[in-house]
């Protein structure tokens, strides 16, 4: 099945997973299926796709690569699809990747390929009574892509443990609801629904903050102590080892996309609109791409904070000695953390 950037339904994921379980093994060199979520956090992938960079770097090795692009909302579906063999490469926040690294250590050995960039995620609300985390009550509802397990929830759990004690790190899971960013954005802007808060991400948080009734409670950068990786790409040891040329072409494509974005951010903004078929105003997308808080880099930043804190909370069983434990060796040359 070849998709042109559709949203994979649960049925489609299940069918693809069942098919993969019956297949004889990993795909042969020259094929790669990639899944991404929604938002400008995936701009590097958008540029890779727009400029056909995987195909370009494959040809440099004498390989014609067939690339399959998919869209999935939420880390849980991403992880299940990867383990089932329905996808070769998936993308999500650092915590979901670490969860899979932890679960598959000594088995499928899932590790990260590269960062997709550092950018803050804002916890927003339209409840005027909520100024800090301590102001949330059981009447509030916080929308997140994957309640309890996704990037936003895990980041919130780390801060909750800090403010309320490690035993209470899941305090806000009970008022969190899984909802895709576009739907959560619409709910927060419209108001009047049970969802009055959203742990958002770019570009959605910029749209939401245009509404005078919406304000920021905190930023993920506040929790992590500065600029930090938002999303990463990850795969299994099997795909990494059995497809060296395809993997190299993919990694080289990511590195080139980073350079392209940094060399011409307005052009990168246009690529985002083309690939995502976004209806956002170009000037808003350009503003986001040029935001000094955002760095579109494949080098991981502050990911080890998650590995350390989530292991301390008991979310992860395995303790990583450094960030290099859960990134494949191709990424080790950068000044990562």
pLDDT band, very low/low/confident/very high, at 74 (cuts 50, 70, 90): confident
Intrachain domains 4-118+229-331 and 122-224 with the same fold? yes
CATH of domain 122-224: 3.40.190.10
Strands 176-178 and 215-219: unpaired
For 298, list phi and psi in degrees, rounded to 5.
Answer: -90, 0
- As a 3-state breakdown, the chain gives helix, strand, coil percent values, each rounded to 5, of 45, 15, 35
- Region of poorest pLDDT, from 19-23, 34-38, 74-78, 312-316: 19-23
Q: In the CATH scheme, what architecture does the domain 4-118+229-331 have?
A: 3-Layer(aba) Sandwich (3.40)
219 vs 61: CA distance, rounded Å: 43
Assign residue 69 a region: left if phi > 0, alpha if psi is -120 to 50, beta otherwise? beta
CA dihedral (236, 29, 18, 231) in degrees, to 10, reads: 40
pLDDT band, very low/low/confident/very high, at 75 (cuts 50, 70, 90): confident
Per-residue CA distances from 323 to 98, 114, 306, 327 (Å) = 10, 11, 10, 7
**Is residue 144 over pLDDT 60?**
yes
Strands 111-115 and 231-235: antiparallel
Give the E-state strand segments of 187-296 in sequence order. 197-199, 215-219, 231-235
**Is residue 27 over pLDDT 60?**
no
What pTM, to 2 d.p., does this model score?
Answer: 0.86
Query: For the chain, how big is the Rg over CA atoms in Å?
Result: 19
Query: How confident is the model at residue 28, as a pLDDT?
Result: 64
Parse the chain into domains and list their residue ranges.
4-118+229-331, 122-224
Q: What is the mean pLDDT of residues 163-187?
A: 96
257 vs 241: CA distance, rounded Å: 23
Per-residue CA distances from 224 to 60, 72, 124, 261, 278 (Å) = 39, 26, 17, 25, 30
Query: How confident is the model at residue 291, as a pLDDT?
Result: 95
Q: Residue 276 is inside which H or E element, if any? A: helix 265-276
Contact indicator for 32, 251 with CB cutoff of 8 Å? no
Name the DSSP class of 145.
S
Q: Residue 311 is inside which H or E element, if any? A: helix 304-312
Comparing CA positions, the residue from 83, 37, 35, 32 lying closest to residue 230 is: 37
Please tell me the total number of residues recorded for the chain in this structure.
Answer: 337
Mean pLDDT, the chain, whole residue set: 91
97 vs 85: CA distance, rounded Å: 16
Contact indicator for 149, 206 with CB cutoff of 8 Å? no
Query: How confident is the model at residue 247, as a pLDDT?
Result: 98
Query: How confident is the model at residue 178, as a pLDDT?
Result: 94
């Amino acid at each position: 099945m070849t998709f042109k950037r559709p949203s994979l339904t649960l049925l489609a994921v299940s069918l693809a997973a069942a098919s993969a379980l019956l297949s004889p093994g990993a795909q042969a060199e020259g094929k790669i299926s990639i899944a991404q979520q929604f938002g400008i956090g995936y701009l590097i992938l958008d540029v890779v796709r727009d400029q056909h960079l995987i195909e370009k770097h494959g040809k440099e090795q004498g390989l014609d690569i067939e690339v399959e692009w998919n869209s999935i909302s939420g880390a849980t579906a991403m992880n299940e699809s990867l383990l089932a063999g329905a996808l070769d490469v998936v993308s999500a926040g650092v915590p979901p990747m670490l969860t899979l690294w932890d679960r598959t250590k000594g088995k499928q050995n899932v590790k990260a390929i590269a960062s997709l960039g550092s950018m803050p995620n804002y916890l927003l609300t339209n409840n005027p009574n909520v100024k800090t985390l301590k102001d949330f009550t059981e009447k509030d509802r916080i929308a997140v892509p994957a309640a309890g397990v996704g990037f936003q929830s895990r980041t919130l759990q780390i801060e909750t443990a800090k403010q309320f004690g490690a035993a209470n790190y899941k305090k806000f899971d009970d008022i969190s609801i899984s909802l895709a960013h576009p739907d959560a954005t619409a709910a927060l802007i419209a108001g009047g629904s049970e969802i009055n808060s959203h742990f958002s991400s770019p570009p959605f948080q910029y749209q939401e903050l245009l509404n005078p009734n919406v304000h920021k409670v905190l930023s993920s950068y506040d929790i992590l102590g500065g600029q930090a990786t938002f999303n990463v790409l990850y795969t299994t040891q099997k795909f990494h080892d059995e497809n060296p040329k395809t993997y190299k072409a993919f990694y080289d494509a990511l590195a080139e996309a980073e350079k392209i974005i940094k060399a011409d951010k307005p052009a990168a903004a246009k690529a985002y609109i083309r690939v995502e078929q976004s209806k956002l105003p170009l000037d808003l997308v350009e503003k986001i791409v040029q935001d000094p808080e955002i760095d579109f880099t494949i080098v991981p930043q502050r990911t080890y904070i998650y590995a350390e804190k989530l292991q301390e909370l008991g979310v992860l069983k395995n303790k990583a000695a450094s960030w290099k434990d859960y990134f494949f060796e191709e990424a080790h040359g950068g000044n990562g953390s």
